[in-house]
Amino acid sequence: MKKEIYIKNRRIAEDAPAFIIAEMSANHLMNFDRAVEIIKSAKYAGADAIKLQTYMPDTITIDSDKEYFQINDGLWKGTTLHKLYQTAYTPWEWQGELKKIAEDLGLICFSSPFDATAVDLMEELDMPAFKIASFEINDIPMIRKIAKLGKPIIISTGIAYLADIEEALRACYEEGNENVILLKCTSAYPSPYEDINLKNIPTIKQTFNCLVGLSDHTMGSAVATGGVAIGARMVEKHLTLKRADGGPDAAFSMEVEEFKEMVDNIRMVEKALGSETYTLTDKQIKSRESSRSLFVVKDMKKGDIFTEDNLKSVRPANGIHTRYYEDILGKRARADIEKGTPIAWEFIN
């Protein structure tokens, strides 16, 4: 699999900054102007991309009250899938204009399709990447259709066994598409911290020999920042204007200033990660001047014996290395030495 993938002009690789995605999802609350404000907020907060969702209620499920379609627990308990998606979908007629607005701001815009017709719309709009949601990882026909287009594919693994990931990847490879990024994901809304298992990020990377990111539904930015520290090359978080405004995804979405703080923290962590080579910076080398060395701490006359009372290891590092302390004890001073003098070999008989 490729270890370097481009989404438009943005390089995603182990040695590149993490690619930050602001997920709009249902946070537009069916208001186009609000959707535009979320896009502008994503730009302000430092995101690299805004992600939409491309489905209609009838393309993702069916309108039925049968038990199979009832939501019986979690954030959306008490409704049906179809009724939920009626409040959550992003109107298809918006998406071309939203993409243009995002691109005019310098953001990348793409989407998650949920059936073949959505893939067709995304391709018609020339979206530069496709995101496979966790619950669609087993939609192999759709994944094959997307893979044939040759564009980058981002696959969330929230409900996947290893075999599911293997089958989805195999479908991409068999269609000649290796531009795949896997996202570690916990499909709970919001996700409990104890269920995240960030340690799986390097495991997924090693197992599937691919770039790995994180789709994060926890509250706050700690998990996303930690994910980058442990190897995530992509981070996806939901963005809303205000959680108090409500909506199906509001409870686990970040507000604008929170999102900005997360991006800032990620960029700071990336600077702090540095390299795996053990070297000192110029500042660290300069700081060594404040390290320990051997100094005369009492006035000494020529011929005096060096003892634990007059020779000590102290800061700074102008004297002989402390490793020679035992060797010098018992020897005599070759000349008078004032208190506070860094010891040098010429002072020692």
Residues 158 and 233 in one domain: yes
Residues 268 and 290 in one domain: no
What's the pLDDT at 76? 83
295: which strand partners?
312, 342
Q: pLDDT tens per residue, the chain (349 residues)?
A: 558 999 999 999 999 999 999 999 999 999 999 999 999 999 999 999 999 999 999 999 999 999 999 998 887 888 999 999 998 999 999 999 999 999 999 999 999 999 999 999 999 999 999 999 999 999 999 999 999 999 999 999 999 999 999 999 999 999 999 999 999 999 888 999 999 999 999 999 999 999 999 999 999 999 999 999 999 999 999 999 999 999 999 999 999 999 999 999 999 999 999 888 888 889 999 999 999 999 999 999 999 999 999 999 999 999 999 999 999 999 999 999 999 999 999 999 9
Among candidate residues 124, 180, 117, 184, the one with its CA nearest the CA of residue 147: 180
Residues 305 and 185 in one domain: no
What's the pLDDT at 275? 83
53: which strand partners?
112
Q: What is the CATH number of the domain that holds 248?
A: 3.20.20.70
Beta strands (DSSP E) in the chain are: 4-7, 10-13, 19-23, 49-54, 108-113, 130-132, 153-156, 180-185, 211-215, 234-238, 293-296, 311-314, 341-342
Q: Helix, strand, coil % (nearest 5) of the chain?
A: 40, 20, 40
Residues 132 and 17 in one domain: yes
What's the pLDDT at 2? 58
Residues 294 and 269 in one domain: no
Residues 173 and 307 in one domain: no
Residues 198 and 231 in one domain: yes
Widest pairwise Cα distance in the chain: 102
What's the pLDDT at 178? 96
Residues 298 and 330 in one domain: yes
Domain that holds residue 61: 4-273
- Judge contact between 323 and 317, C-beta under 8 A: no
Q: What is the DSSP letter of 319?
A: S
Domain's final residue, options 253, 273, 293: 273
Residues 190 and 297 in one domain: no
Residues 35 and 153 in one domain: yes
Q: What is the CATH number of the domain that holds 338?
A: 3.90.1210.10
Distance of CA 170 to the CA centre of its chain: 26
- Judge contact between 60 and 85, C-beta under 8 A: yes
Name the domain count of the chain: 2
